[in-house]
A and B are shown apart, each in its own frame.
Chain A
Amino acid sequence: MAKLEIRRLNTWVAGLIILLLAAVPVVATAIGAPFYIAQYSRIMIYALAAVGLNLVLGFGGMTSLGHALYIGIGAYSVGILEFHGLTNGWLQLLAALAVGGVFALAIGAVVVRLKGMTFIMITLAFAQMGYFLAITLRTYGGEDGRAIGTRSQMYLFDFSNPIVLYYVIFACLAGTLWWVNRSITSRFGMVIRGSKSNERRMLALGFPTFRYKLVAYVISAQVCVVAGFLLANLTQYASPSFMQWIVSAELIIMVILGGMFTVFGPVVGALAFLLLEEWLSNFRSATFPAFGELVNEHWLAVLGVFVIVVVLTARNGVYGYVCRRGGGQ
């Protein structure tokens, strides 16, 4: 299990990326390119969601194709409450976590007993229900979603200042990484990993695995709720498209791309995925302009090739490759 430990190459790589992320607003302001702040804010939000997903996907062996639902719950909690004039961010966050918790407990109680393809399909079905429910909410914009006039009022933190918002997102990501890194060798983490490795044996040892897996699922979902809450504040929008199944799938791709048996892999995956998306869809070729346009139009296909190459050559993603080279397991 690729834990972050000093004296390992992967820890240095992870540390370097964290430092670079911390420096983004400073550099962006210095070179007069503030759009980088929003871009990396968005990347970190997806990284946060991917780290949360990886808790059940990588460590728990539960392939959820429905975590976008929780991003949606986080975003709509801001959107709906703001519509009714409640702009207190802490209350919005509390409501988001409460609703997310209820949904995650109910859905988790059903899916956590399932395995393999059934697990994937049922989580997808639940998320699609959320998606279509959001579309029917005419009051809150229906299919188009709804622009959020006033960002969450967090008092200590002024979300209308992009730099403040950036560092709040950064802190959420760093804190979650710290906790996941601790938890995978905690008693709870051992039980989750054991349940993935050999559930039959876990039961025979005397672990009631269901309740541990359910708690892991709920925590994982809540991380995505927080990501959704932050996303609504970044984009000032709550849209059904946040809960499209494509978003769930992209999160899975980020996790796999970065390395799903690692703590930090999903961050690398989110960076790689979203930066490639950005680069490919703006790709210009001076000598072959037509080729450039082809890439712009079909950037997903190019990205697909990249994902295939990574999965085939580095079984544990880009970051997993670093872990192996660095003497990790």
Chain B
Amino acid sequence: MSGAKPILSVRGLVKNFGGLLATDHIDFDLAPGEVHAVIGPNGAGKTTFLSQLAGELRPDEGRISFGDKDITHMPVPDRARAGVGRSYQISQVFRDMTALENVLLAVQATEASSFSFLASVFDDEKLVEAARGYLRLCGLAAREETLVSVLAHGEHRQLELAMTLATRPRVLLLDEPMAGMSQAESVEMIKLLKEVKRHYAVVLVEHDMDAVFSLADRISVLVYGRVLVTGTPGQIRENELVKEAYLGDQEEE
């Protein structure tokens, strides 16, 4: 995998929060079709890293390339339109709208412009059908008309993913898609992500090690804002440094 030209490439990325080096000269590659997981103990800077990839945080140094384009300073909406789709650790959904409306907006985001003032989106078969498709894919077909604020936590996670997919990204940045899910929900989500990963390149930040080792093609371990090591799941499992810094900790818990 690592032989192919990367679709997303990061060189020398630095983010400094008033003396705290949250991102410390990170180099990172994502090959087309690959799931590259980022793991590490709490506070290692995983979400900070992801936010810089998505554009919500501006790096102090370094360079992010997407395909042949330098996107280091590209604003968030432009990046999303270029094909970088992000899901959030804490679901960022439209709580006062129905599940269908949430995904409709995501589908609508792929259109050139939304300066249309009269025609109802609900009369647009193509739009509605596309939105329904993503809801179905993410297991929410029965919840279409439900107000999002009354959906269960696991369903918010599913909706989060449906919305991200609906923007038709080329690269998916998933921030703990399993966060706060029950065992059963996690199993369902892993199944769904296995389906999804066939069509996208994915950067996966996740605490659930079962998920990481069953989904990732490559894993980078982040400690104190640094990439400790990058390797295949097999290599990471056997790596002494990683055991010490991270996995060991977890087994003791």
Chain A residues packing against B (C-beta within 8 Å)? 179, 182-183, 185-191, 193-194, 197-198, 200-209, 212, 215, 329
Question: What are 13 A-B residue pairs whose CB atoms fall within 8 Å in the complex?
Answer: A179-B118, A185-B121, A186-B117, A187-B111, A190-B101, A190-B104, A190-B121, A198-B94, A203-B77, A204-B86, A204-B88, A206-B78, A212-B114
* In the complex with contacts A201-B93, A205-B105, A186-B76 CB distance below 8 A: no
Chain B residues packing against A (C-beta within 8 Å)? 54, 56, 75-78, 80-81, 86, 88, 92-97, 101, 104-106, 108-111, 114-122, 147, 163, 167
A147→B104 CA distance, assembly (Å): 52
Contact across chains for A190 and B105 when beta carbons are under 8 A apart: yes
A286→B75 CA distance, assembly (Å): 68
Contact across chains for A197 and B121 when beta carbons are under 8 A apart: no
A186→B94 CA distance, assembly (Å): 17
Contact across chains for A208 and B116 when beta carbons are under 8 A apart: no
Q: Say which residue of B80, B108, B111, B120 sits within 8 Å of A182 (CB atoms).
A: B120
Which A residue's beta carbon lies closest to that of B80?
A: A206
A329→B76 CA distance, assembly (Å): 33
Contact across chains for A182 and B118 when beta carbons are under 8 A apart: yes
Which A residue's beta carbon lies closest to that of B113?
A: A187
* In the complex with contacts A204-B86, A205-B80, A207-B109, A187-B114 CB distance below 8 A: yes
Q: Say which residue of A183, A194, A201 sits within 8 Å of B118 (CB atoms).
A: A183
Instruction: Give 18 new A-B contacts, CB below 8 A, not counting A193-B96, A198-B93, A203-B56.
Output: A183-B117, A187-B111, A187-B121, A190-B105, A190-B114, A191-B105, A191-B108, A191-B114, A193-B97, A197-B95, A203-B77, A204-B54, A204-B80, A204-B86, A205-B109, A206-B109, A206-B110, A208-B77
For B95, the chain A residues whose CB sits under 8 A away are 197-198
A277 to chain B, nearest CB (A): 32
For B119, the chain A residues whose CB sits under 8 A away are 186-187
Q: Say which residue of B88, B96, B101, B114 sits within 8 Å of A207 (CB atoms).
A: B114
Contact across chains for A186 and B118 when beta carbons are under 8 A apart: yes
A202→B167 CA distance, assembly (Å): 11
For A209, the chain B residues whose CB sits under 8 A away are 77
Contact across chains for A203 and B80 when beta carbons are under 8 A apart: yes
A80 to chain B, nearest CB (A): 31
For B121, the chain A residues whose CB sits under 8 A away are 185-187, 190
* In the complex with contacts A186-B120, A188-B117, A205-B163, A197-B109 CB distance below 8 A: no
A190→B104 CA distance, assembly (Å): 9
Which 7 pairs, one residue from A and one from B, show the smallest C-beta to C-beta distance? A206-B80, A205-B109, A187-B114, A201-B92, A197-B94, A185-B120, A187-B116
Q: Say which residue of A190, A200, A205, A329 sits within 8 Å of B167 (CB atoms).
A: A205
For A179, the chain B residues whose CB sits under 8 A away are 117-118
Q: Say which residue of A183, A186, A194, A203 sits within 8 Å of B105 (CB atoms).
A: A194
A191→B94 CA distance, assembly (Å): 11
A242→B91 CA distance, assembly (Å): 45
A204→B83 CA distance, assembly (Å): 11
A208→B78 CA distance, assembly (Å): 8
For A193, the chain B residues whose CB sits under 8 A away are 94, 96-97
A200→B91 CA distance, assembly (Å): 11
For A185, the chain B residues whose CB sits under 8 A away are 120-122
B180 to chain A, nearest CB (A): 18
B242 to chain A, nearest CB (A): 31
